[in-house]
Structure 1
Amino acid sequence: MHESNVFWFGWILTFVVSCIVLSLSSKRKTNSIEDAAAPSKITDLEQQCLRLREQLQQQKTQLNQDFQTDTFEQLQTLLTNYPSARKMAAANPNLPAQNLSALFTPLENLLENWGIEAIGVPWSQVSYNPRLHQPDTDDLLAGEPVYIRFVGYQQGDRILCPARVSRTPPPIQNAESASR
């Protein structure tokens, strides 16, 4: 009876050891498969990181453009009227606004940094361009001579607001011409 217990004990021990060995060998195979898959996981993560960086850069650019557009829209009335007011102040030194012109230099620098350019110079005569100008009458033809009443603005090819134009020169310019 003692020998049969040893016999069965040997078989059970052999079976347990075999199970442990098989378990360890299957773990090694799984690890070697995972090790082989690791480079592709790293590549996938690197590509995902590059995509996320690109998306972040695009969002940053879009946010900057949105900020510039929103700010410009809030300042548009000031920006379109200021150059004409400055021209009037220069034409009439008795106006109290003469000293205020220098205060707007930082605003002009901001527009320059944003790539926003004025369309026209107040009171200058130009050829009418329906894309760049907003006429005071509906019967203007392209190429017809007009005067810039209020400047417009563009950023690259995009017109932010057209320059307001008229066939007749501004009244102050007429007064200047008459006094000469």
Structure 2
Amino acid sequence: MPNTQYPMPNAQKLQDLMQLLGISSFKALSRAAGVSERQLLRLRQGKLEQMRVDVLLKLSPVLQMSLSELVATFSTVELLQEKTAPTQELLEEIADLRTEYQRSQLQLEQQREILLQELQQSTLQLLESLLLQWPTAAQKAQENPQLAAIKIVPLVQKPLEKLLQAWGVEAIAPIGAELPYNPQLHQLMDGNAQPGEKVNIRYTGYLQGEKLLYRAKVSPV
């Protein structure tokens, strides 16, 4: 039967290089570079000119060769004879890739800035009453030390509760509550306690969904 396999002029050359670098197989090279084995097959067959520039850029650092060295090492004779045009084309494609990367980075930065502004705006809306009333309440408290603190507390408490509710943040337990000690949710401030023993909540902790933000600080009962 005739041999239907494609010739692979670069196979031995690539294997020798892989052996020097400690890369055990083409599959291992494929995984290390993040390229498909089909692309490596083209390289082994001497079809580097059919490979995309981004693939060559991924292979270059893994094979510890510059892009120009990679092209010079694995190019076919035909490609080497017309070296000037393909090299210029490669340089132009690399420049295009860099430009696209810079454009993507700029877009991400702009999106990040917009999201930050939206977050700040929504937070300020939730804290509106605090922002508007707190300076006046604080000034009155300085002018009149006898002013009951209980009148000022709601100015802070209500906006804070709205903000925590909007962000899905919940208190683990109210101050003064007595609960079975759970070391995953509670942090002892003093003394000792075994899991399940009653402790007193001195400083509340917070959960955001299933994520623990802060453990509640407790003392043994």
Fold-level similarity (TM above 0.5): no
Q: Considering only CA atoms, is the larger Rg found in Structure 1 or Structure 2?
A: 1
Which TM-score applies when normalising by structure 1? Answer: 0.40
Which TM-score applies when normalising by structure 2? Answer: 0.34
Structure number with higher helix proportion: 1
- Highest RCO, 1 vs 2 (Cα 8 Å, sep ≥ 6): 1
